[in-house]
A and B are shown apart, each in its own frame.
Chain A
Amino acid sequence: MNQGRINAVIWRHLYNFRHSLDRLADSFYWPAVDILLWGLTSIYIQKSGANVSQIVLMILSGLVLWMVVWRSQYEITINLLEELWSSNLVNLFSTPLKVSEWIAAVVILGLIKMLMTISFATALVWLLYKIDVLFALGWLLLPFMVLLLMFGWVTGFLVAGLIIRFGMRIQALAWMAIYVLSPFSAVFYPLSTLPVWAQKVAVWVPTSYIFEGMRSVLFGGQMDQANLMKSAGLTLIYLLLSVMFFLTMFKQSKKTGLARLE
């Protein structure tokens, strides 16, 4: 064993650690998200007095619906990263392909893959736990899915815009970004569990209305239609802004050249 060589390997990874957003996220971001998310969920469960079957239904439904958001944003950002990883971006945009066509393609692809994932996940939940998440939500499932899907696109286009502008050094955002919003979305606990300042933020996060509505329906209540409309309004505005942001970043990136990203 040579101490110098052992040190060299350690230094190699420490140097890399300083420059890698992925490694920093592994060490600090994910533990923080997990502690926050599951800590708040635990506090809610402790205080709620809900029975175990209700809590299981709420958590599994939240999990399945959150997959809609995650999957739709992931599809956009990963498809862009795939082109960068394989040095194919310049090839792609040196064809007759328009940016709007690329956007349409990744959105359609995201929709197909999201349906695959959700079908699989709901079937698995039913097989393993005998819980029918889709049936439990009734007709509201449709607007929930559509709005969550669209909000996934919002974060997808925001992150894709940053990646197309700043390149692969911020690729970790493809995995990280959506989870910044998960505590404010109140996926597994009611908004009232959040501190007051976070509740004020959550008002501007359209998914928070959906998950509040989901819990309300699951626990026998009704979804407030005004909240559904608020969520739809915010989502549509954000979607428009996020697509504009992506197009602006794409244009900006072309000033220095797409080739530099590969």
Chain B
Amino acid sequence: MAVDNISFKIHEGEIVGLLGPNGAGKTTTIQMLLGTTSKTSGEIKYFDKDFDKNRSEIMQEVNYASAYIRLPWRMTVWENLMVYAKMYGVKKPRERIKLVLEIFRMSKYTNKGFNTLSSGQITRVMLAKAMINFPRLLLLDEPTASLDPEVADKVRKFLLKQQEKYNVSMLFTSHNMAEVTEVCDRVIFLRKGKIVAEDTPKGLARRIKTCVVKYKVNGQETAVKIKEEEIASFLNDLAKREIKYEEISIDKPTLEDFFLSQL
């Protein structure tokens, strides 16, 4: 079973990260929320409406982007976006397409064939498609997976702007822990199809009680794993033993440490 008895809510304007190792059920969860994978039991509700009974109406206000999904490659960027604008019944589709292409800096590729785009450009077109219907909820499956750091950063900033400006909610999967920490208000951690933890990124990181103290003596680096509350006495001990370090750093636990602890 890919997903087993999970239950969660996404509040309006909230960005929720769905984390977990490969095969944890992140993509299956998103596919179930899209209705492209059927659930065996339970219920999905969007905007207080039952998904099974009101799928078409609900999907009018939801959109989706994934690094692993494409658009018809023979068609141009414009043609592809026009098809989806019509699919969502967007009013003034030409203006909307121009706007989303400008946002993602893809205007000059408007008439280019989808098959001529680089993977970064493809991701940006997929995100433009995801914004075509002014969604209230965006389901994003590793949206920045194939982007270079600069474009990925722009995409993150764009998503945060959408949240701030239009109160768009998002469910976000990523393997980039720094990204999840930056973007997500809350993180749901899945393992073997079950939710094993749910908290803010910082809250999850704080569940790891050990810090790493690194110090360099005579050019040789030593790293010690130590509980946060014991750091002061450890440093005191170094001083007592007259150990003169050239450099010292304290690495507080991160979301990545939490992720690794769960494997």
Q: List chain A positions with a Cβ less than 8 A from chain B.
A: 82-83, 86-98, 251, 254-259, 262
Contacts and interface: CB of A to CB of B under 8 A. Distances in A.
A93 to B, nearest CB: 5
Contact of B129 (A86, A91, A96): A91
A256 B37 contact: yes
Interface stretch (B55-63, B170-178, B192-200, B228-236): B55-63
A96 B60 contact: yes
Given A94-B64, A95-B88, A259 B27 contact: yes
18 contacts: A86-B70, A86-B73, A86-B74, A87-B70, A91-B64, A91-B70, A92-B87, A93-B35, A94-B62, A94-B139, A95-B84, A96-B57, A251-B38, A254-B36, A254-B38, A259-B27, A259-B36, A262-B69
Interface in B42-94: 55-57, 59-60, 62-64, 66, 68-74, 84, 87-89
A251 B139 CA distance: 22
A257 B69 contact: no
Given A88-B71, A259-B27, A98 B35 contact: no
10 tightest Cβ-Cβ pairs between the two chains A and B:
A257-B37, A87-B70, A94-B34, A96-B56, A254-B38, A86-B72, A258-B36, A96-B59, A95-B87, A94-B64
A90 B57 contact: no
A259 B2 CA distance: 14
A92 B36 CA distance: 10
Nearest to B86: A95
B146 interface: no
A66 to B, nearest CB: 28
Contacts of B210: none
B74 to A, nearest CB: 8
B28 interface: yes
B107 interface: no
B49 to A, nearest CB: 13
Nearest to A261: B36
Contacts of B88: 95-96
Contacts of A83: 72
Given A86-B71, A88-B69, A93 B36 contact: yes
B31 interface: yes
A91 B59 contact: no
B56 A98 contact: yes
Most chain B CB neighbours (cut-off 10 Å) among A91, A251, A255: A91
B71 A258 contact: no
A104 to B, nearest CB: 14
A254 B89 CA distance: 25
Contact of B87 (A96, A254, A257): A96
B128 to A, nearest CB: 13
Given A95-B88, A96-B56, A96-B59, A88 B70 contact: yes
Contacts of A82: 72
B210 to A, nearest CB: 39
Most chain A CB neighbours (cut-off 10 Å) among B27, B37, B62, B89: B37
Contacts of A95: 59, 84, 87-88
B31 A259 contact: yes
B38 A91 contact: no
B60 A91 contact: no
Contacts of A86: 70-74
A90 B64 CA distance: 9
A87 B73 CA distance: 9
B90 to A, nearest CB: 11
B132 to A, nearest CB: 10
Contacts of A91: 64, 69-71, 84, 129
